[in-house]
Structure 1
Amino acid sequence: MTKAAELREMSDEQLGLTLTDTCEHFFRLRIQAQTERLDAPSELKKNRRLIARIKTIQRERAGSPEKTDPADTDTKVEADAANGTG
């Protein structure tokens, strides 16, 4: 089991390779689950969570854009309506 702290220590390239390997393994497990009985069904859950951890760390490193404030959007819509442009 790879912890988030261990994943954060990896380089971007290592994370990408780990993600690829984990996705392939998850795919094989899903196929196996459909065709025969799994030895450890919990492996599906573990792999799914590992994929989510890796993607989260990649997103953190990429720097997510700032979220827009819903109040600003409402104000713009009201201003457009008052001007007759919306």
Structure 2
Amino acid sequence: MTKIADLRSQTVDQLSDELLKLKKEQFNLRFQAATGQMEKTHRVSEVRKDIARISTLLREKRAAS
């Protein structure tokens, strides 16, 4: 799980890159779940929450500029 203080210090470009990385991970986790190969089931909810955090911060930063 990513800490919010670490995310707030990042730029919009860095946050966008992190969001893209997390969305790819989410896709891979869904694929693993569908094929029955998932080992860390808790990671699904962590990734979903991190995506929400980053999306919120991106919206805040874009509105502020």
Counterparts of residues 62-77 of structure 1 (less than 5 Å): 62-63=62-63
SS state at 2:7 partner: helix
Give identity over the alignment, percent: 36
Paired with 1:38 and 1:32, the residues of 2 have a C-alpha distance of 5
1:60 maps to 60
Larger Rg: 1
Which whole-Å deviations, capped at 9, do the CAs of 1:30-62 have from their partners, x for residues lacking one?
011011141110000000000000000001112
- Answer yes or no: is 1:18 the counterpart of 2:44: no
- Deviation of residue 63 (structure 1)? 1.5
* Backbone CA RMSD of aligned residues: 1.3
Greater RCO, 1 or 2 (C-alpha within 8 Å, sep 6+): 2
**Runs of 5+ unmatched residues, structure 2:** none
**Runs of 5+ unmatched residues, structure 1:** 65-86
Counterpart AA for 2:47:
N
1:67 maps to none
2:6 maps to 6
Counterparts of residues 30-41 of structure 1 (less than 5 Å): 30-41=30-41
Paired with 2:47 and 2:53, the residues of 1 have a C-alpha distance of 10
Greater CA deviation, 16-25 or 28-37?
28-37
1:27 maps to 27
The alignment covers a number of residue pairs equal to 64
